[in-house]
Structure 1
Amino acid sequence: MNENAVRPALRPARGSARLAVAGLGLAGAAWALRAVWQVRLAMAGEPASGPPDQGEGRHRPLNALENSYHLVSAAGDLLVLLCAALFIGWLWRMRDNARALSGEPPRYAGIWVYASWIVPIVNLWFPRGIVADIHHKSAPGQKLPAVVNVWWALWLVGLVAGVGLTYDDSTDEIIARAYHGVTGLLLADLAVVGAAVAAVLMVRTLTDTQHAHIGD
Structure 2
Amino acid sequence: MNAHITPPAAAPLPAPALRPVRSAALFTTGALGLAGAAWVLRAVWEVRLSVAGEPASGPPDQGGGTHRALNSLEDSYHFVNTAGGFAALLCAGAFIGWMWRIRDNGRALSGVRPRYSGIWVYLGWIVPVVNLWFPRGIIADAYLASTPGAPGARVPRSLNVWWGLWLVTMVGGVGLIYTDSTDEIIGRAYDDVWQLLTADAAVVGAAVAGIFMVRAVTAVQEKAAG
Deviation at 1:68, TM superposition (A): 0.4
Which position in structure 2 is the counterpart of 1:118? 126
Is the counterpart of residue 173 in structure 1 residue 187 in structure 2? no
Structure 1 counterpart of 2:54, from 43, 46, 51: 46
What count of residue pairs does the alignment treat as equivalent? 211
Deviation at 1:135, TM superposition (A): 0.7
The 5 A counterparts of 1:149-188 are 149-188=160-199
Where 1:106 maps in the other structure, the secondary structure is coil
Which position in structure 1 is the counterpart of 2:82? 74
C-alpha separation in 1, matches of 2:115 and 2:69: 52
Please, which runs of 5 or more residues in structure 2 have no aligned partner?
A: 1-12
- AA aligned to 2:121 is V
Is the counterpart of residue 100 in structure 1 residue 100 in structure 2? no
TM-score w.r.t. structure 2 length?
0.91
Moved more, 71-80 or 115-124: 115-124
Please, which runs of 5 or more residues in structure 1 have no aligned partner?
A: none
Is the counterpart of residue 213 in structure 1 residue 224 in structure 2? yes
List structure 1 runs of 4+ shifted beyond 2 angstroms. 5-8
| Identical aligned residues as a percent | 64
Which position in structure 2 is the counterpart of 1:145? 156
C-alpha separation in 1, matches of 2:62 and 2:14: 58
Structure 1 residues 23-74: Cα deviation after superposition (integer angstroms, max 9, x where no partner): 1010110011111111110000000000001111111000000000000000
Point out the structure with max Rg over C-alpha.
2
C-alpha separation in 2, matches of 1:204 and 1:74: 28
Deviation at 1:173, TM superposition (A): 0.3
Deviation at 1:12, TM superposition (A): 2.2
